[in-house]
Amino acid sequence: MPSSGLSSSSYSASPQQRLTAVVSHLRRERKLKVVVTRDLGPDVMPILKQWGDIELVTWPEDRACERQWLLDNIPGASGIIVMLTDKVDDELLEKAGRQLRIVSTMSVGYEHVDLRAISRAGVRLGFTPDVLTDAVADLSVMLALMASRNAGQTASIVQAGNWPNSPWAPFKFCGPQLSTSQFSPTRTVGFLGFGRIARATLARLIPFGITHCIYTTRSSSSSETDEDPTLKPYLSATNPLSSLKSITRVPLPTLAVESDVLFVLAPGGPETHHIVGEEFLKGMKKSAVLVNTARGTLVDSEALARALREEWIWGAGLDVVEGEPKIGVDHVLLKEPRCVILPHIASATFETRRGMATLAAKNLLAALDGGDMPSELDLKGRA
Ligand code: GLV
């Protein structure tokens, strides 16, 4: 007689253990279909394959998954792992069917997911915060340095074999210094968005002698955070290695006016669309540098190109651009020598991408098991 899969000990177990046992039993009885829109590599694919008897359908190519392939393969899926290049909307959810329980995105951002649609469909959303904080903070500082020190423009001179025509000269290729100096004893960094990545970026900037930090956030619940105990370790008052005198929440126009370096680190979406536009850029210092490692939609590319061309600001370092990856040589920002653009690689370290893929897989499996996901987006108030 085939075993029911429910051992007698299941009956003395807690409700949660019993639910888990029932789910595992059902899983064994009926294969669950899981669709993955990118091969997650040799460390993570086995986690999915070995989890149980699931029907795993993986986009087979080493490029972004085609929408039509996804629509053709999603029917009957209980779970799906997507990338930020895959749109999750009503069409996809309807195609999937009512058995779909989890969308797990291998990203911290979820601009590509229609939160209302997913909430209406009663589907849970997993995402990958925290694991990429350090990698993105590292690259944010790198872009600030690259943009202020003309790294994009000067590296291309060397690559084109033109160094012989550009010998060392006293003031050639100079740019504003990120660290404090005898000529610029104060430095203010600004953050548009002040979450985990912004704070990790601030921590990296403290050895540069930054003296002031200002920020804006979506919430207006508090007007001042020098009192926030989690920020105390950054400040010179409590940290002898820091010269940071203040961390202050400010209105958006003040953020533009006072920042020497401004980091855009807020979520994308309609609320923040083109928040850095002409008016904001016109308010900035001529010597200021803008860094965007969040989402391209926050910055109006046309306005930024004008700001660089007409020298309203010094430079820009972008890891994201609105409309990416369709950014060809004729893009308005590629004509600006003081604009350094990278192709959305802020989290691209081996360690971080492995961490993100692992977390995306764990989120998916936890939801299929009916349990708590390591990182689930709380849809309340967002959808
Ligand atoms: C990258 O941009 C991410 O959202 O993970």
CA 192 from centre of chain:
14
160 alpha carbon – ligand 1 mean position (Å): 32
Are 189 and 202 contacting, i.e. CB atoms less than 8 angstroms apart?
yes
CA 61 from centre of chain:
24
What is the location of CATH 3.40.50.720 in the chain? Answer: 31-131+352-368, 133-341
360 alpha carbon – ligand 1 mean position (Å): 12
Give the C-alpha separation, 8 to 56, whole Å.
Answer: 31
* CA-based end-to-end distance of the chain: 48
**In this structure, which residue's CA is closest to atom 5 in ligand 1?**
107
Question: Helices 133-148 and 350-368, interaxial angle, to 10°?
Answer: 140
Beta-ladder partners of 57: 35
**In this structure, which residue's CA is closest to atom 1 in ligand 1?**
107
Q: Which fold has domain 133-341?
A: Rossmann fold (3.40.50)
CA 309 from centre of chain:
28
- Residue whose C-alpha is closest to residue 364's, from 122, 104, 123, 49: 104
Q: What is the pLDDT of residue 18?
A: 47
H-assigned helices in the chain? 15-29, 45-51, 67-73, 90-96, 115-120, 133-148, 151-159, 196-205, 252-258, 278-283, 301-309, 350-368
Residues 6 or more apart whose CB falls under 8 angstroms from that of 265 comprise 140, 191, 192, 193, 194, 195, 197, 198, 201, 293, 294
Cis status of the peptide bond prior to 233, with omega within 30 of 0: no
CA dihedral 371, 374, 375, 381 (to 10 degrees): 40
- Ligand 1 first shell, C-beta below 6 A: 84, 107-109, 132, 347
Q: How many CA atoms lie within 13 A of 190 on its CB side?
A: 25
Widest CA span in the chain:
88
| Ligand 1 atom with the shortest distance to the CA of 107 | 5
Residues 6 or more apart whose CB falls under 8 angstroms from that of 241 comprise 206, 207
Residue of 110, 125, 347, 363 with the most ligand 1 atoms within 8 Å of its CB, for mutation: 347
Beta-ladder partners of 336: none
**10 Å Cβ neighbour count for 37?**
23
| 31-131+352-368: CATH class | alpha beta
Q: What is the pLDDT of residue 53?
A: 80
| Ligand 1 atom with the shortest distance to the CA of 320 | 2
Q: What is the pLDDT of residue 382?
A: 78
69 alpha carbon – ligand 1 mean position (Å): 23
E strand or H helix that includes residue 277: none
Are 180 and 211 contacting, i.e. CB atoms less than 8 angstroms apart?
yes
Q: List the pLDDT tens digit at each of the 383 positions of the chain.
A: 333 333 434 345 555 654 555 555 555 556 899 999 999 999 999 999 999 889 999 999 999 999 999 999 999 999 999 999 999 999 999 999 999 999 999 999 999 999 999 999 999 999 999 999 999 999 999 999 999 999 999 999 999 999 999 999 999 999 999 999 999 999 999 999 999 999 999 999 999 999 999 999 986 544 445 468 899 999 999 999 999 999 999 999 999 999 999 999 999 999 999 999 999 999 999 999 999 999 999 999 999 999 999 999 999 999 999 999 999 999 999 999 999 999 999 999 999 999 999 999 999 999 999 999 999 999 997 77
Q: What is the pLDDT of residue 23?
A: 58
Q: What is the pLDDT of residue 26?
A: 56
- Residue whose C-alpha is closest to residue 286's, from 315, 263, 262, 264: 315
Are 64 and 89 contacting, i.e. CB atoms less than 8 angstroms apart?
no
DSSP state for residue 346 in the 8-state scheme: T
126 residue type, one letter: G
171 alpha carbon – ligand 1 mean position (Å): 38
**In this structure, which residue's CA is closest to atom 4 in ligand 1?**
109
Give the C-alpha separation, 287 to 285, whole Å.
Answer: 5
Report angle CA 156, 161, 162 to the nearest 5 degrees.
75
Residues 6 or more apart whose CB falls under 8 angstroms from that of 339 comprise 147, 152, 304, 305, 308, 315, 316, 317, 318, 333
